[in-house]
Chain A
Amino acid sequence: MHPLEIEHRRIRLLHRVPPAIKLLVALGLVTTTAMLPRRPDALYWWPAALLGVLWLLSGMPLLYTIRRLLLFEFFIVGIGLMSLLAPASKDLFLSAFMKSNLCIFAMLLLTWTTPFPDILQELRRARLPAVMITTLALMSRYLPVLAEESARMQRARASRTFSRQHRLAWRNLANITAQLFIRSADRAERIYLAMCARGWK
């Protein structure tokens, strides 16, 4: 469901733009798109064109773009369908559909061109509370480690599972999740010791 970062992004022009600018541009794009009229309008072309240009400059592969957009379509279509139930709402559905896709596209470009450590650096500069910065930093560092641990546990469990009963599957998954938490807590303890060993106070 949440594919981890793609390696080997080709470094293009947009990667070199300072992260603060990219964040502000993304926020601006998203806000202005949200404020556009609630029916398909010529105004929609402006953010669309800008995003198109940015996409070309970013070097984001087409297949990747489509795949990620499709992942979120489920949500968009879901909410959109609900708009269809209101009268005179084909416009509302279309506008919500288009606006939402534009905003997601903007966010995809942001995440493609701005590695998370850079964003974290900006958040640090913006004086986000230290405890949140530490949490975000440790989280991004240990996410792959825990994901791998969880995958290993699932594989080990699957190799000893001979039934497809859902009840057992839930029991197994709950046990794996609990084990993952316990191991994370133990690891957190060791990380604390390792940090203290190098002078952290």
Chain B
Amino acid sequence: MHLHDGYLDAKTALLCTGASVVGVGIAVRQVRSCLEARQMPLLGLSAAFVFAAQMLNFPVVDGTSGHLVGGVLIAILLGPSAAILVITCVLMVQCLMFADGGLMALGANVLNMAVVSVCGGYFVFRALKWMLRMEDKRATVFAAAFASWCGTVLASIACAGELALSKTLPWSFIFPAMANVHMLIGVGEGVATSLIVLAVLRNRPQLVAGIKADGPATWAGFIGYGLLVALALAVFVAPFACPWPDGLEAVAGALGFANKATPHSVPAPLEDYRLPWVGSVTLATAVAGAIGTVIAFISAYALARILVPPLSSARKHAPSGD
């Protein structure tokens, strides 16, 4: 999902960079106030860890393999602010050391994968943990699986919004394409994240910091991040989510982005396509998205049940830690 240069126009890149600077700025302030000096080297080592972990190939189908992105995993292990910093540093190194990801697009990549994915995913994680009434380990695994899936999908939606805002690709096409593909990719991320979190919980539970109770300083961060993510989604996604065809133009006009005459108007080849019993493709996308989310939720629960058997039988099994 690393965006390269050439796909975002200047205004979108600028917007993204601004938003990501704000997000990272909040994260830096949070880390400075909440993290002890003792944990500072852990940020650097975690960034190296994410990079190294991304080099591990998880086999998918014969021949292909996927790899972990890790934003929500780190958020669960270190907390959201540290995770934002860690993933930002990973993205910076990928861009500036390996040319993996664009320089102009760095702002957008950071916004998608470090801010939106981490904050959104972590929010889902905490919300689920708060709501679930089940054994602690299983609840954590369940929440981790679903939250990292959500993080992946949210990041892809933000990315789709940026591509559409740059008029690179039409929203009505790119949104379902990105969202659906990442709903599938997110499954891998969810499974991998939950397995890893479970293994860490079994070996060194005190390393899973993200589930500890927070103080007032972290609540300020929460609110800051929440606002930022909401704003980002509003700017990049909301104009398109409008059901009326001129929704995009209206919002863009209101926000002051003059639509320069481009050689090609925003093509929308699929809007006239109608599914037999659902109606327009927009509605179909919404339905598919809802179904996909429910399936992911149920799968996460099933996975948690398989991985963390009920307490009575768990005692009979030897710990799987290495």
- A interface residues, Cβ below 8 angstroms from B: 1-3, 5, 26-27, 30-31, 33-35, 37-39, 68, 72, 75-76, 79, 82-83, 85-89, 91-92, 96, 99-100, 102-104, 106-108, 110-111, 116, 119, 129, 131-132, 134-143, 145-147, 149-150, 154, 166, 169-171, 173-182, 184-185, 187-189, 191-192, 195, 201
CB-defined interface of B40-64 with A at 8 Å, one 1/0 digit per residue? 1111111111011111111100000
Contact of A119 among B7, B44, B90, B96 (CB under 8 A): B96
Is B203's beta carbon under 8 Å from chain A? Answer: yes
A51 to chain B, nearest CB (A): 13
Is B320's beta carbon under 8 Å from chain A? Answer: yes
A174 touches B204 (CB 8 A): no
B103 touches A30 (CB 8 A): yes
Chain B residue nearest in CB terms to A182: B204
Contact of B45 among A1, A104, A178, A184 (CB under 8 A): A184
With contact pairs A35-B10, A86-B170 given, residues A179 and B322 touching in the complex (Cβ less than 8 Å): yes
B6 touches A33 (CB 8 A): yes
B55 touches A150 (CB 8 A): yes
A19 to chain B, nearest CB (A): 10
Is B288's beta carbon under 8 Å from chain A? Answer: no
Question: Which residues on B sit within 8 Å (CB–CB) of A91?
Answer: 263-264
A108 touches B99 (CB 8 A): yes
Question: Which residues on B sit within 8 Å (CB–CB) of A79?
Answer: 7, 163, 168-169
Q: 17 extra interchain contacts, Cβ-Cβ under 8 A, other than A2-B51, A177-B68? A: A27-B103, A72-B4, A72-B100, A86-B264, A86-B269, A89-B264, A91-B263, A107-B95, A116-B96, A134-B44, A138-B41, A139-B44, A170-B195, A173-B56, A182-B204, A184-B42, A189-B42
* Residue from A68, A110, A135, A141 with most neighbouring chain B CB atoms (10 Å): A135
Chain A residue nearest in CB terms to B262: A38
Give the A-B pair count, Cβ closer than 8 A: 257
Give CA–CA (A136, B6) in the complex, Å: 26
B43 touches A135 (CB 8 A): yes
Binds A, one of B81-89, B121-129, B239-247: B81-89
B233 to chain A, nearest CB (A): 21
Which B71-112 residues have a C-beta within 8 angstroms of A?
A: 77, 85-86, 88-90, 92-100, 102-104
Which B190-210 residues have a C-beta within 8 angstroms of A?
A: 191-192, 195-196, 198-200, 203-204, 207
B96 touches A111 (CB 8 A): yes
Is B316's beta carbon under 8 Å from chain A? Answer: no
B42 touches A30 (CB 8 A): no
Contact of A34 among B2, B13, B192 (CB under 8 A): B13
Give CA–CA (A39, B264) in the complex, Å: 10
Is B308's beta carbon under 8 Å from chain A? Answer: no
Is B177's beta carbon under 8 Å from chain A? Answer: yes
Give CA–CA (A72, B89) in the complex, Å: 21
Give CA–CA (A115, B200) in the complex, Å: 35
Chain A residue nearest in CB terms to B47: A139
Give CA–CA (A5, B51) in the complex, Å: 14
B194 to chain A, nearest CB (A): 9
B200 touches A178 (CB 8 A): yes
B89 touches A30 (CB 8 A): no
With contact pairs A110-B99, A132-B85, A192-B41 given, residues A2 and B5 touching in the complex (Cβ less than 8 Å): no
Question: Which residues on A sit within 8 Å (CB–CB) of B173?
Answer: 82, 85-86
B172 to chain A, nearest CB (A): 10
B9 touches A134 (CB 8 A): no
Chain B residue nearest in CB terms to A129: B28
Contact of B207 among A26, A107, A181 (CB under 8 A): A181
Chain A residue nearest in CB terms to B181: A78
A131 touches B28 (CB 8 A): yes
Question: Which residues on B sit within 8 Å (CB–CB) of A178?
Answer: 196, 199-200, 203
Give CA–CA (A108, B2) in the complex, Å: 15
Which B125-164 residues have a C-beta within 8 angstroms of A?
A: 163
A99 touches B6 (CB 8 A): yes
A192 touches B207 (CB 8 A): no
B99 touches A135 (CB 8 A): no
CB-defined interface of B1-30 with A at 8 Å, one 1/0 digit per residue? 010111111100100000000001000100
B184 to chain A, nearest CB (A): 14
Question: Which residues on A sit within 8 Å (CB–CB) of B251?
Answer: none
B60 to chain A, nearest CB (A): 8
A sample of 6 cross-chain residue pairs with beta-carbon separation below 8 angstroms, ordered by A number, consists of A34-B6, A72-B4, A79-B7, A88-B264, A103-B103, A178-B203
A139 touches B204 (CB 8 A): no
Chain A residue nearest in CB terms to B35: A131
With contact pairs A134-B43, A191-B45 given, residues A100 and B7 touching in the complex (Cβ less than 8 Å): yes
B5 touches A107 (CB 8 A): yes
